[in-house]
Each structure stands twice: as structure tokens, then as C-alpha cells.
Structure 1
């Protein structure tokens, strides 16, 4: 059937034909990151009313896959669809298979719901679910997803709305269930360094506490747990593999974006990444949705609070604490929230490999281990020991310390690394940093009064973190330390010279260290 044409200008516009057409898959060795794209022959696409960046459905072995259409005049022939590597890996698509292709769109309910939300109208559960579903299945364009991501800055959600959003975000993806007590720890972030999770998980699971751990990628910090874990082991596993890891080892350390756990979350994170900003509402929803999807029933939330942290004051921290507890309880969890000091970075390494080096030093009880990182990890580990009823007060603190000092926690970490295809005998000295470094020296005598963590985060990202795992900073001096003129106060690491130069130019305008 020939498509009907209408002449609105010298350029011909094809009215869309909604019927599916069939083509064979051709695998394209190009990876776009988090984007899902398929290439169609330009003329064939236009014959069916499909334009560049339209949303199209691919029906592959009975499963609908929604992708962005891109068009090629000659690279892709009629009867072919080019499938980019990201889509191939996620959906296990094979070359030469027949797929049905059809124009698709988001549901009218989700678009109308988004319009209402942009006007400040509260959404019901059905409307919220429709938006989360269309984001999760890639029906929302990047623009619509960004609009939804930004809503929390203009219209703060009620506690009940947070619960509805978290529930919808989880239920539009995979849901995992484990028997018995299932615990988790999550930090709101915003503090550079602070990689307590990789110390706590082996420590606590060595005591028999079940802790399946998923994580997202960094938004506001130079490296989150996801980037750090990937330094030592694989982080992408299927639902079946995760269940097996937890059955055998009481834990896993895996990237949630590689699954369909709260799938809308990864797309909302992608929308927030360019500005390194995420509203408090979105942060709560993101954290609690993933806990719910992972079957967590005992959750410890760490809210770092400080003048240059993500949470600047006690009033905000207490409000967030109340919201976390409300949402968690509605989702069937026992929740404990700790508000911790965030006046400076935790540890001295900032950036994935620099942070992992310090994690290994704490677990291996290396003489150069950062004691602030060790102490915070032990404090939070003891709170989970209390939360699950294993010990109380001083006894919980003593049990955490004993487990670390005895080597039991490191032994468990070696077990986890081996199970996730890493080198269990890795030493901190074996980790390779970025080759280009620049030492920054004090210009006067004095004492470090403060470190601006927001400036530090920008510097680290300018150097290439979190994408470049080798990039970052090493802080030779921390708050309260005495310095003399000419002392090295921190070291910059980058893989390219221009990034060092850009970081220094930024530091010429912004003060990261206050020395008096």
C-alpha cells in the first residue's frame, strides 16, 4: 500500500501509517551509553511515517522493545534494521532475525498527567504509574523525562506522593524477593570519598546478615559505589545470577541499571546528570524504590549534613528523615536514619580508583588506611547490627570492630570479588591512577579552616571523574591540619593535560581550601 502524501510546503510530509513492517536485524558495533537506538533505511522509514528520533517498537521474539529511530540513506538497506550495541546487550538480540517495526508513542494518560503535574496539580496513583511506565519502557522522550525529573524543584511532593512514586517506580520493573531479614544501607550522597558501603557489606554479610546491594551511577559526587565496585569486579548480572549470588554469599554488589529494577530511575538519573542536580523528592523516590524492588525489609539511611553538602542544615535533614521513615514503612520496611556530620570529605582519595585504594587499605588494615573512613563505616555497620537485632549499643560497636580487625571482613570481600569475576588477591598498591598529575601547594602558612565540597566535586568532574575511573584528587591536608607555605595540600590526577589545565583555571576562580 502506498502511503498517503500531503503537500504542506515544497518538502513532502508523509502521514504516519501505524501498521508494522518486517525487517531483518543487523548488529551495529556502536555503543551510545544509555540511549537505545535502531537504524532504519531512510526511504523505508518515511514510507511508514517514521522520522528521525521518533519512538518505534521492535517486536523481537514476542517482546516489545521501544527505541529511538535514526535514519540512514545508504548504510542500512531496505529490509534491514541496524541494532546498536546497547540494545543488543540488554535484549540479547541476534543477527539475521526477523522483527516487526511499528511507529509507537507514549500513552495519552501519561502525557496529560505530566501536563497536570507541570501546572502543580497533584497526580493520583494511576497517573503516576502511567508516567513511570512510559519512562521505564522508553516511550517518553528525553525532553519529557527531563521535565518530569525537574518537577521536584518547583513542586515539592507530599509524603504520600513520594510513597506512590517509589511504589510505581519499583512495580514498573523487576521485583526480587528473599526470605528472612534482608538489610541494606544507603547514603544520600553529596560527600566526596565516603565509600563506606564497600567496607560495610563484607563486614556485615560475614556475620550472616543478608544484604543484596544494588547501586546507581554517580550524579552529584566524583564516584559512587557503582564506579568504585566496577574497579574490582563485574557489576552487571541478571536477576537469576543475583539470586544465586545472594543464595551462596548472602550478598551481591551489582548495578541496578543492568537489570529492570526500578528502570525509570536510570533514565531520571541520566536527565539529572548534566547539571549534577537531583531534587530531594527524586532522591528519596530513587533510593526507596530500589530498596522495595530488591526485597529489602531493614534499611539504614545515612544523611550527611553540612554547609557544603547536599543537605546543608538540620531542619532539612530532619524533614528528609521523616520522609524516608514514612515511605519505608508504607513499603513494608523497618527504617533507621542517621544524620551524620559532613563538614569535609571522608577519606583522602576522591575518584573511583583513589577511593577503592582506601577501601582496600581499611579492609586489609593497611598502615596508611584513612581512620575517618574506617570509623564511619564501623559506626554505620554497628547501627545495622542493632537494626536487625543481632546486638545493641556498645556490644554492636565492639562486634563491628572485631570483625574488621580479625580479617573476617576482608576474607568475605575476597569471596565476593571472586564470585563476581575479579581478582581476590588485589592489593591497594596495584591500582593504577591517571598518568598526569599536578601537585597544588599552599601559598601561605596557616591551618586548614574548611574544604568546600561543592567546589571539590566540580574539580573532580573537570578532571574526568566519574567516567574516568583513574581521575580525581588526593587530599594531603584535611580540616584542622597545619600547613606551611610550599606544602602540598592536594594532588590532581587526569588522563589528559587539558583537563588538568581546566581544573586549575576553575580553581583560580573558586576557593576549595580556606587556610588561615
Structure 2
């Protein structure tokens, strides 16, 4: 069957889609989400079918092509496109098997991961796989197989270095921007630390969002390898390079559903560490009764699984279990967090003491893991590198090498212009700061898409306050978002004072 190509001038961001007029589709007994094998000369593709209800969208006798399909077929308006119905991918039956509660073997999981990477699954099929893993859970064997499949499905950095360090937090704590402080600390000690980070999934900012305020976080693999040798490391967005590429496609499904399946989280983290050639990983597990990890039992469970899977894929995993019951640092949102971390690195008195202390503890532990310092002496080395300015000098070197400015000043980072303040409704001691409430307010203000928006905390847990004292300032890019965030703070301020 042949139809005339119509350029729809629409991009999906990955999956290949074609559109038929409803009358043509009905005549050929085709339905939405059917797969079509399409050809333009020697160029071929398998695309997902959508249906146009009107002649204006796709006229009779035409086939609408999204940008991804046009590119693969090297087609243009008016080309004659041949097509016929294609079979569903083999992986669909394995997704159905998981939905039914059965364990998947390594071959079945690898088949699914490959189809995710090459955009062969519909949104419904991919969502079904993600939700099946969330509701049914995954065995150790499945997590191990998924970790390997995700790692081997993409590119790998080839670093002839040892050790290669990495650090990661499983998240859930607003602020907590330790990574951009730890990475230059570790590199300043002469260690290699190639760090890829995520953008925000459910938080007001991811590490990549914060760093993008200062420098370029999208770099080609070849430059990353060069930076690892010349500078000692880098700090980039992992989604921009084909390292464990299935991960970002899975995250894109988890985000709107606000879910984070345990097995997928473990596989995602370790696959990315394998991809950058990490030999040693310090994993932070924050405990918060209302967060991802609610108690010591859950933290120990995760620690054991990470250690087990890590050992089987060649990553020596060490864990640090921390207090995740309140935000770390003062800024919540990309620009506000960027200011915090620069103040810490420059030993400015405005640098949050909790962010500084946590970064020093974690960097110190990494020095001990790598054999850079004796047990119990890593903190002192980290403190020396920070206080002397060596860590900041390495930070600036990295930022500049990635395309950022030669001089990095916190004051040069702009914040959103509209603000409102939340003040203490009564006198007393702050006994609780709810992470989810503060994160919700920051997101309502526009973070992370508006980089200068978010929340700046003036008081922390255990601080004694008087009625009317300033607890936090909300920054927003427009009046509507400011009003929404301020209304959210009135419903649930996030602070409990007794």
C-alpha cells in the first residue's frame, strides 16, 4: 500500500509516529497504536499509528510523518511512502508476563530494555512495564539483569584510571546540593570523579538543574573523557549522553506518576555508575518518616541490596545513612542552591553550615575509601582542601572547562523578582520542617523550570523563634506563580513550632 507523505512538523522526542486519515484507517481495518512498517526507497522504519479525524490534519490518501520518522526515512512532503502492518515487538509479551506477576529472566529483560532504547514501545507499553515493576516488585536476579542491560545498552567512558570515584544520593531531601561541593573536593585530592547527575524528577531542582545555572552540563562523550584526565572529573547531565539511555525514558514515565520503583532505582543508579567506569561509590541514604526511606530497617535493606548488586557488577558500594528529616542548605530551587554551594566553596559566612558539614563528612569518607587518608582522618583532609581554597579552585577549573565563566560569584546568579515572606505565626521552637511541603511550595513558585524561583530558608529545625520572625522567602518569576506559592504556604507552611 502506498500513500503520499505529509510532514506534520511535530516531534515526539523519541518514538516514531505516523498518522492516517480515519477513513483510510477504517478501510484498512487499522487502529491507534498499531505498528506499521514504512519504507521510502531503501530507508525503512517501524512506526506507531495514530488517527486523524479530519481532512485538514491528514487528507485522504496521505500519511502524516512526525519528525523522527521523516528523519529515519529521509522523506519529504509529497514522497510516495509504502507501508504494511508490522508485528508487535517480542518484548510486549514479556511486559504482559511481568504484569501477571511472573519473574523475568535476563534475556526477557534485555529484550525490553533494548526496545525502550530504540523507541520500539508505545507510551502505554512502556508505562505498563514501569508500573508492573512498581506494583509487582523485582527479585535480586531481575535487578541484576536490568542493571547490566541498562549499562550495556549505551556508551561507556573508557578511563584507564583506578580508583574511579562516584557519589550519589537517592534523594528526597530538598536542597542537599552536596555533589557540586564533593566532586571538586575529591578531584582536588588527586582522585578521578566523573559525575553524571539527573534533572529534577519530583523535586524543585536536580543537581544538573543547579549546575546549569553556572555552566554547560551537556557535553559529548569524547570531551568528558578528556576532562576526566585533564581536570580530574566533570559534573554533567547524564540524560544528554547515551550512557544507560533507557534510564531517562523510564524516569520520564515515573515523573508524572510520582513513583520510584525500588528495583528500577537500584538498576538506574548502578548502571550509570558502570557507564562512567566507577570502581567505588559512596551512596547516601537519607531517612525521613515521610520520604523515600522511612526508617532504619528500609535503609539497611537498601544498603544490603546496593552492596550485593554493586559487587556483582564491579562497583564497590559504600553507604552513609543520614538524617533526611529537613532540607539541607538554605536555598530550594536551582539558582538559590547554586548560591549556597558557591558560598560554601568560597568559605563565605553566608554558606549554610549544615551543607558544608555534610559535604566534608561525605568527601572525607571517600578519601578513606580510596586510601587517600587513614581511617578517621578523611574529614581533616577534606576540611584542609576546602579551607585552603583548593576545592574552590578545582570547582572553577571544572566550570570553566565545561564552558562556564572564569570567575564564579554567587551574587552574579539572578533570582526571580517577585517575592513574599512567610513569618512565624507564634513564638517557640521549630520542631519539624516538612520536606514535601517545602518542596511543593518551591515547585508552585516555578522551580525548577524557572531557575531563579524557589524558597530560601532563614530558620531551621531547633531554632527558637518569636512571633513574626522571618522563616522563609518565596521567589517567583511572575505574580500568578507567586500567589499560588504563597497560598500553598498558608495551607501547609511546612513548619511546626511548639
TM-score by length of 2: 0.88
Q: Which residue of 2 aligns with 1:313?
A: 295
Equivalent of residue 405 in structure 1, options 384, 387, 402 = 387
Aligned partners of 2:134 and 2:259 also within 8 Å: no
Aligned partners of 1:23 and 1:101 also within 8 Å: no
Distance in 2 (CA, whole Å) between partners of 1:94 and 1:418 is 41
Q: Which residue of 1 aligns with 2:482?
A: 500
Measure how far apart 1:99 and its partner are. Answer: 12
Distance in 2 (CA, whole Å) between partners of 1:291 and 1:62 is 39
- Quick check: 48-57 or 153-162, which moved more? 48-57
Q: Which residue of 2 aligns with 1:332?
A: 314
Is 1:442 aligned with 2:448? no
Is 1:159 aligned with 2:143? no
Equivalent of residue 190 in structure 2, options 197, 208, 222 = 208
Unmatched tracts of structure 1, length 5 or more: 3-20
SS in 2 for 1:393: coil
Is 1:351 aligned with 2:314? no
Q: Which residue of 2 aligns with 1:144?
A: 125
Is 1:197 aligned with 2:185? no
SS in 2 for 1:232: coil
The 1:141/1:208 distance shift into structure 2, 3 A limit, reads same
Q: What does the per-residue CA deviation read over 1:256-296, in whole Å, with 9 as the maximum and x for residues that have no partner?
A: 21122111110111111123321222211111111112211
Is 1:273 aligned with 2:268? no
Between Structure 1 and Structure 2, how many residues are aligned?
491
Distance in 2 (CA, whole Å) between partners of 1:61 and 1:330 is 47
Measure how far apart 1:148 and its partner are. Answer: 1.7
Equivalent of residue 375 in structure 2, options 372, 376, 393 = 393
Q: Which residue of 2 aligns with 1:115?
A: 96
Q: Which residue of 2 aligns with 1:10?
A: none
Measure how far apart 1:392 and its partner are. Answer: 2.0
For residues 225-374 of structure 1, the aligned pairs below 5 Å read 225-374=207-356
Q: Which residue of 2 aligns with 1:168?
A: 149
Aligned partners of 2:143 and 2:266 also within 8 Å: yes
Distance in 2 (CA, whole Å) between partners of 1:251 and 1:494 is 34
Is 1:431 aligned with 2:413? yes
Q: What does the per-residue CA deviation read over 1:12-61, in whole Å, with 9 as the maximum and x for residues that have no partner?
A: xxxxxxxxx9979x795x776x5556676869996999877666678999
Aligned partners of 1:76 and 1:82 also within 8 Å: no
- Quick check: 227-236 or 102-111, which moved more? 102-111
Q: Which residue of 2 aligns with 1:471?
A: 453
Aligned partners of 2:36 and 2:48 also within 8 Å: yes
Q: Which residue of 1 aligns with 2:397?
A: 415
Aligned partners of 2:420 and 2:486 also within 8 Å: no
Measure how far apart 1:100 and its partner are. Answer: 8.2
The 1:297/1:158 distance shift into structure 2, 3 A limit, reads same
Measure how far apart 1:106 and its partner are. Answer: 7.8
Distance in 1 (CA, whole Å) between partners of 2:273 and 2:431 is 38
Is 1:135 aligned with 2:77? no
The 1:57/1:218 distance shift into structure 2, 3 A limit, reads farther
SS in 1 for 2:403: coil
Distance in 1 (CA, whole Å) between partners of 2:366 and 2:334 is 25
Measure how far apart 1:180 and its partner are. Answer: 2.3
Measure how far apart 1:498 and its partner are. Answer: 2.1
Distance in 2 (CA, whole Å) between partners of 1:444 and 1:125 is 58
